[in-house]
Structures are given as C-alpha cells and as structure tokens.
Amino acid sequence: MDALRAHLAPRWMELGPAPERGDWRHWRLGRDGDNLAWLLLDCEGAAVNTLDEAVLGELDEVLAHLERRPPRAVVLRSAKESGFCAGADIGLLSRLDDPLLARELVERGHAVLDRLDAFSIPTIAVVHGPCLGGGLELALACNWRLAVEGASFGFPEVLLGLHPGLGGTFRALRVMAPLTALELMLRGRPLAAPAARARGLVDAVLAERHVAAAVAAAAAGRLPRRRRPRSAELFSREIARTLAARRLTAATARRVRPDHYPAPFALIELWRRHGGDERALRGAEIQSFLELLGTPTARNLLRVFALREGLARPAKAAAHDIAHVHVVGAGTMGADIAAWLALQGFSVSIADRDPERLAAAVPRAAALCHRRRLEPRAARAVLDRLIPDFEGAGVGRADLVIEAVPEDAELKRALYAELAPRLAPGALVATNTSSIPLEALRDALPDPGCFLGLHFFNPVARMELVEVVCHDGVAESARARALALVAAIGRLPVAVKSSPGFLVNRVLTPYLLEAMLLLEEGLPAASVDRAALDFGMPVGPVELADRVGLDVCLAVADRLHAAFGDAVPPVPEWLRRKVERGETGRKAGRGLYRWRGERPEKARAPDPPPGTADRLLLPLLNAAVACLREGVVADEATLDGAVIFGTGFAPFRGGPLHYARSRGVAEVVAALEALARAHGPRFAPDPGWIALHED
C-alpha cells in the first residue's frame, strides 16, 4: 500500500504502471499493458537520487530479473521530483581511500552499466531535472535519452578533481562530437536540455505530458536516430587527436595549473591516447579515475564539497518565516543586497536619504537580471518585487530590516533609534557592517536579541559566503532565522562571533598588509601576486586589495590594529597617502595597479624570491588559528569552509587549517618562528597552534 501511495504521489509525472515488485529499496519496477518495463530510481530516505554501491548493486539484480523475462523495452526514470540523479554519492567517494576497494567498486559499477548497455531491447532514459555525473553515465548506458523540459545534463567531476569514471568518457564520445564531449567534461558546467539536444546528448526534448507518447515511439523505433557526429571519424586517428589535444591542453593551462588541478589534463591525455578505441578507453578511464581519486587535489576537493554541505544543509532545512525585507542604504552594498533578495523571490523595499541613490537601485537590479540572462517576464517580476521606498513605509511590514549605511557607529545608532518605533513586532534587524563590533550598536535598539549582523561581501551576486554575526545577547531563534534566510537566498551562511574583523577580514587583512610590506621592500606588485597565484589563490593580494578598495582595506586594517596591535602588520604611510589622493584601486582606475576597466595592467615580473608565499600565507593561517582559539567560529571545518568560500583560499588545499595539518603543524609553527626572527613579532605563532598540535 505504501509503495502504491508513494507511486501515486507525484501525479504530474508519468511513472508508468504500479510496481510489480517491491523488494528493492531504491528501485521500483512495473510492466504496462504493452509489455514496457518502467524502472524507477527512488533512493530510499533521500530527497535526491545518487549512485552508491547499494543502488548499483540493486540495479544489477533488476537487470538480471529483466534478462530472465525480457520486456519489449525498458524505461528508466527517477520517481523523485528533485530530478533524475545528482551523480555518485560524494560521501562514498570521500571514504574511498583504500585503492583496492576503490578499484573493486569502480569495476563493479562499470560491469552494471555495461550490462544495461548490452540489452538488445530498447532502453529509454526519461530525464527531468538535473542529470549529473554518474547520473548522466547511467542515462548514457541507455539507447535513448528523452529530456523533459527543464532537465540539465553535465559532468561536474572535474570540479572534484576527477573525470567521469563510470563509462562516461567513451559513452559521451559515442553520441557527441569529440571536442564537444570533452568540453562538457573539462568545464564541468551543465547543459540545459535544448543545448544537450543540439549537441547530440539527448534525442528529444519534450513536455512532461508527452512522455508516454515519446516512450511509445522510442520503444517502437519510431524516433529519428541520431547521426554519428562527423568529426568522430576524423578523431579516430591519433594524429588528429594529438593536434587537438595540444590546443586543448594549452587552453586548459590558461585556466588552471596541472600541479594544482591534474584532472582536466589527465582527461585530455586519456582521450589523446585511447580516443579511437572504446575498449582501451574503458580500461584506461578506470585506471586514470582511480589515480586521480588518490591525489591530494581530489581528496581535498571532496572535502570542500562536504564543507559546503556542512555550511548550507542545516540552515536550508530550517524555517525563516521572512517574506518582506526592508533595506536602508542604497549604496554599493544596500542596492546589491536588495536586488539579490528580489531576484531570489523576496518582496523588498529599499530606502536611502539620497533620492538619486534610491532611484538608481532599480536599474542596478535590472542590470543584475540582464547579467543573469533572465527572460523579460522573469526580470519584470524581479523588478516588481523591488520597491523604492521614499517614505520609509516598508519598515512597518518588514520581517527583516537590513541596514547598509556608511561605516560609522554614530550614524548607524541614530538610524536605529529612528527605526525602532516603526519596527513590526519580532522583526529582525541586521547590519551589514564589516568591522564595527555589534556590542557598540545593539543597545540603540529596544530588543537587542533580534539584532545581528548579515555581512555580505562585495560583489554580492558573486560572493557566496555571508557572515551571520552574533553578539552574546542574540536570541537563538533570531540566529536560526538569519542562517535559514541566507541559505534560502542561495548563499552560504557562517555563524561568527562579533569581534573585530569577524572572520573573513580578520584572516585576510594580515595577508593583504604583508603584501604591502613586500611592495615597500621593492618587490614588484606582479611578483607578489605571482607568489600567491603559485600557491593556488585565485587572485594575488595586491590585485585583491585594489579590487576591494584600498580605502576599505585601510579602514579594516586600522580597526584590527586597534584591537590586536603588533599581531597585525603595520600600515605603510605611503598607502595612507595613496588613499588620501583618491587612488583607491579599481573603482578609481588607479591604486596599486593602473586599471583598464576590470583588468589591472600587469608588467611581466621577475620570479618572487623563495619563501614569499609563506610570508603572505602564514599570517593568514596564524589569524585563522587565533579565530578558532577565540571561538569566532564553531570549529575547524566551519573555519576552513568559510575561509575558502569567503576569501577564495586555494580550494584544492582543503582550507587553511587542513593545509597546515597536511604540511605539519610543527613545521608551520617553526616557519612562523623563523619569520618572526627575521621580520618581527607579527609572525609570532598564535597560542592556538598548541591545541592544534596536540590533537
């Protein structure tokens, strides 16, 4: 009965007849009057389908059952509304650190998909929602792929330091032009259904209501067959592949380095050597996948995946009960926060004492919609949700008020006093301050328990992390609502204790200031940046300081100095003068670099001297350890995740503390001590290293 009820639940999906057998945990099998077998993937106890040992093991049993009593065709689809299949179970991949066990599992998985692939009757994958990684490999083992409108297809393995490992390489090459298939695997970006159709990955794109008819047509062989891509013939020759691989390698090397991210290079080489021979490619894919799985890059990127889940998942599951948000301050941050909230479906009013600033908020939101390529109707809906509020009428109906006025405690307190009598009962008030301790602001409000920080970073649409800043009087319910809201708008929330610089600015500032000191010593800016890029940072500290704004960096540095004294590198006088002259970085067209629009003009620079990366990065690590010791964040994993998503800290290194542990805590401490002897007490190891060392 339960199985029947579960089967009937998502009524909008064509799921075939009621299941004939119910003794599998993750699969359901039914046969309709035309002898079509409907095989439904419905992973037990999960909102999203993923592939693991149990799911593939059961699939093997189902296939054996079907071989004994063959139907006319098999329809394979997901019974979950969330989509077809998100890929391999990442938890399982993370645990696969025994090479023999890993090989056994991967080979067993291959054997199951090969068995499906070998069916002589038509096998039809019907795909709705995301069909990613192992999910796509499963769909590729079927003869037909029918995409329901809205489906998406991709190989995100490269983002985890891997490439497809369940036959995806050679099966994608069967149906797509080789360079197109490689592009899909190298970039990790999914294709929407129409693009997947245009590239040969799916046979048809259709509305859900046409699924039954399309399945019947495919089963009867009435759907038009794909033609083998013409370039497949050309690239069956090794010489053609070698030439193309050279170009692909060069293009990939412009984006990532092989010593940091070996997977895309391994994939190109795999194809170059074996792209003309499916059997050889199958064996080599397994071998190469297993080698990659053992690399520190893949292990660390799998860890980063888990860190992201750790930040997002608990908050996503919680309720926030926030419908209307009122934003005060329509400047750089306020206007972007309001636009982002409206884009995410919230009703937003925005106020500013400067009517011109306020009037510019809607065009800013329109520009965001344009950048996100929203359909005109969807864009109009976003703009309809964003209300410029000249009278301040939105305050009274707001469940959340976000303050984003300039970084001045007195100004903020005066504003709160003005807002207080108009706030709705139970409304949250959040400040976007980047450096003022909340203790200096909270008593300006009648209920400090409902006051906290929501520290968005600039640019709001690109920076994933949002610090949810809590002082010791914040109500637990307010904290939980704020975390849930941040998750609901597609950002990663991290709860941090109110203390100078919170987490991200606290760890980033010593790194940026150390870069200034290296400039003062005469090292060219591009060389300083090179040292950080060689370590794996996405941008160097000099360029980053210019992007953030030297005025902003200076203000944060002064606050951190006042709080932590010698532990923070000194601010060079020339930097202050530069800011006074208005040379504040990218926004001014001139800062530490000269800027041409979005790009700094960088001269070719000599190699940085050995040890430069340590001088830059170890202060960041030291500040991270101090934050952990002081309880600014709850634990090591949260800290690593927040620093990666908030600063871009080289993800393939698994986070600052994970990096320190991999390198050896004692070695890092010794390196800090040596730097302290050479350059001064700012490098003195934080006492928190002792606890880390003892773990």
What positions carry a catalytic annotation? 137, 157
Q: Which of 288, 433, 612, 638 binds ligand NAD (CB under 6 A)?
A: 433
Q: Which of 15, 73, 88, 415 binds ligand NAD (CB under 6 A)?
A: 415
DSSP state of 41: E
Among 289-297, 319-327, 431-439, 510-518, the segment contacting ligand NAD (CB under 6 A): 431-439
CA distance 302 to 290: 14
- What minimum distance in Å lies between the beta carbon of 255 and ligand NAD? 27
Question: How many residues make contact with ligand NAD (CB under 6 A)?
Answer: 24
For 505-532, give the DSSP string.
HHHHHHHHHHHHHHHHTT--HHHHHHHH
Distance of CA 521 to the CA centre of its chain: 37
432 binds ligand NAD (CB under 6 A): yes
Among 145-153, 262-270, 332-340, 616-624, the segment contacting ligand NAD (CB under 6 A): 332-340
When the beta carbons of 258 and 582 are compared against ligand NAD, the nearer one is 582
Length of the chain, in residues: 695
Q: What residues between 524 and 553 interact with ligand NAD by CB under 6 A? A: 552
When the beta carbons of 219 and 556 are compared against ligand NAD, the nearer one is 556
353 Cβ contact list (under 8 Å, min separation 6): none
In the beta sheet, which residues pair with residue 324? 347
- What minimum distance in Å lies between the beta carbon of 548 and ligand NAD? 6
When the beta carbons of 134 and 549 are compared against ligand NAD, the nearer one is 549
332 binds ligand NAD (CB under 6 A): yes
Q: Which of 81, 104, 114, 354 binds ligand NAD (CB under 6 A)?
A: 354
406 binds ligand NAD (CB under 6 A): yes
Contact 88, 133 (CB under 8 A): yes
Q: Which of 310, 331, 572, 589 binds ligand NAD (CB under 6 A)?
A: 331
When the beta carbons of 432 and 638 are compared against ligand NAD, the nearer one is 432
Taken in order 312, 314, 317, 318, the sign of the CA dihedral is negative
CA distance 283 to 262: 19
As to burial, measured by CB atoms within 10 angstroms (0-12 exposed, 13-18 middle, 19+ buried), residue 111 is exposed
Tokens (6 digits) for 694: 């003892």
At what angle are helices 504-520 and 636-647 packed, to 10 degrees?
60
CA distance 566 to 624: 16
- The tokens 């800027």 sit on which residue? 595
- For residues 299 to 318, the per-residue mask of contacts with ligand NAD, x marking binding by CB under 6 A and - elsewhere, is --------------------
Q: Which of 457, 593, 652, 683 binds ligand NAD (CB under 6 A)?
A: 457
When the beta carbons of 264 and 334 are compared against ligand NAD, the nearer one is 334
- What minimum distance in Å lies between the beta carbon of 428 and ligand NAD? 17
By DSSP bridging, strand 130-132 and strand 152-154 are parallel
Peptide bond into 459 cis (omega under 30): yes
- What minimum distance in Å lies between the beta carbon of 475 and ligand NAD? 23
By DSSP bridging, strand 465-470 and strand 492-497 are parallel
- CA dihedral of residues 193, 198, 204, 205 (deg, nearest 10): 30
558 binds ligand NAD (CB under 6 A): no
The closest residue (CB) to ligand NAD is 331
Q: Which of 286, 312, 404, 468 binds ligand NAD (CB under 6 A)?
A: 404
List contacts with ligand NAD (CB under 6 A). Answer: 328-334, 351-354, 357, 404-407, 411, 415, 432-434, 457-458, 552
